Structures are given as C-alpha cells and as structure tokens.
Structure 1
C-alpha cells in the first residue's frame, strides 16, 4: 500500500508559463542576432535539451512572451524578434520593477 504523500514524478520548474517565459527570456538575451532575428532552433534546443524542459513548457513560455509583447515570431516561423523598444529604450518586460 502506498502513502498518499508519495510522488512519482519530479517537480517541473518550468510548468508555469511565467517561469518558462523568464528562462526563455534569459536564453534569448544570449543568442546571436542576425539582422534582428533570433533563430528559434538555438532558443528551443537550449531550453529543451540543456534545461530538460518539455515542448509543452517551451510553448507556454514562448506564447506568454508573445502575448506580453516582448517578442514576436517572424512570418517564416524560424526566427523570433524583439518587439520595438519603448520610449525609455527598454524592451517590454525587461524593466526591473520600480517601487513607487
């Protein structure tokens, strides 16, 4: 008989869209950018293979960054691009929170 508190799966650190998006944003800042384009292959392979995340977690994080207006997908589907910086020169979603 098993105990009700036993767990048979590991906790997934990127199961929440916010956590996945934060990690993907860290990765995106390290990628080479050619003509404003970040290759999706480098981005998702780091997240999936190095960080051991799932495709579903990658998709949640990527879609959150797109919905938040931080990145957008190139029409060919093979690249991501930063959304235009705001008036302050900062990319959306990358400003540290300000205490008021």
Structure 2
C-alpha cells in the first residue's frame, strides 16, 4: 500500500535541472531578466510544488547560476549559468 505519491521533482537535483531548463527556454526581457511568475507556473505545470520550486531557485542561486532581482520578480542567468547551455 502506498500512502505518498511519487513526486516527479521531489529530488532536488531533478527540480534544479527542470528549473534551469525552463529558464533557458524562455526569452529574456530587454534587461536580460526572466519573469519569476512564468517560470514558477511552468514549473508547477510539470508537477512541481511551490516548495520544490523554492528549493530549486535557492540551489541555482547558491551554485551561482542564477541571480534574483531585488524585487523578487525576476531571475537572471549569471555567466556561469549561461555557459551551462552554450
């Protein structure tokens, strides 16, 4: 008997990889920023939770791949993050 459902993005590395893939697939605005709202919605649409999204964003920032705008509304790739997809 199973009491917990399997979470497709329950593994932090899988969540981080999915977050970066989503962010890489978006077109940045004129200032090179990506909307947190759009990334969050797409992340949740693929089966992720708010908690998994938050953990993935924190991990991407800790690795130095993304930065968050002071308003919290935008993410931007760092040079190291952009190089992952070059």
Q: Same fold (TM over 0.5)?
A: yes
The TM-score normalised by the length of structure 1 is 0.76
Deviation at 1:16, TM superposition (A): 2.0
2:51 corresponding residue in structure 1: 56
2:86 is equivalent to residue 91 of structure 1: no
- Cα distance, 1:52 vs structure 2: 2.2
Give unpaired runs (5+ residues) of structure 1: 1-5, 96-100
The within-5 A match list for 1:12-31 is: 12-31=7-26
Deviating above 4 A after TM superposition, structure 1's stretches of 4 or more consecutive aligned residues are none
Shift of 1:10: 1.6
Q: How many correspondences in the alignment?
A: 84
Deviation of residue 76 (structure 1)? 1.2
Cα RMSD of the aligned pairs, angstroms, is 1.6
Report the TM-score, using the length of structure 2 for normalisation: 0.87
Instruction: Choose between structure 1 and 2 for higher RCO, CA contacts under 8 A separated by at least 6 residues.
Output: 2
> Which residues of structure 2 form unaligned runs of 5+?
none
